[in-house]
Amino acid sequence: MAKRRFSTFNIVCLALLWVILCYFVITGSGLNFMSVFAIVASGIIVFAPIYKSKKREKEGK
């Protein structure tokens, strides 16, 4: 089964949702080590597949 490519709309929606969730984490618990760690870890989990997909797409062209 072929993987679906990320469209620009999907990337923008995902990034906005991630920013909103980060805002809730920061305002809810304040800015401490655990919240910074959670934001950085979630950023890696969210944006690494997008980066890999876009990199593969550019190499394929």
pLDDT of amino acid 55: 85
Cα–Cα distance for residue pair 60/5, rounded to 1 Å: 13
Question: Within 10 Å of residue 44's Cβ, how many Cβ atoms?
Answer: 11
- What string of H, E and C letters represents the secondary structure of 39-51? HHHHHHHHHHHHH
Cα–Cα distance for residue pair 31/40, rounded to 1 Å: 13
pLDDT of amino acid 2: 60
Does 36 have pLDDT greater than 70?
yes
pLDDT of amino acid 29: 83
What is the average pLDDT across 29-50? 91
Query: Which residue's entry shows tokens 């800015």?
Result: 31
Query: What does the mean pLDDT of the chain come to?
Result: 87
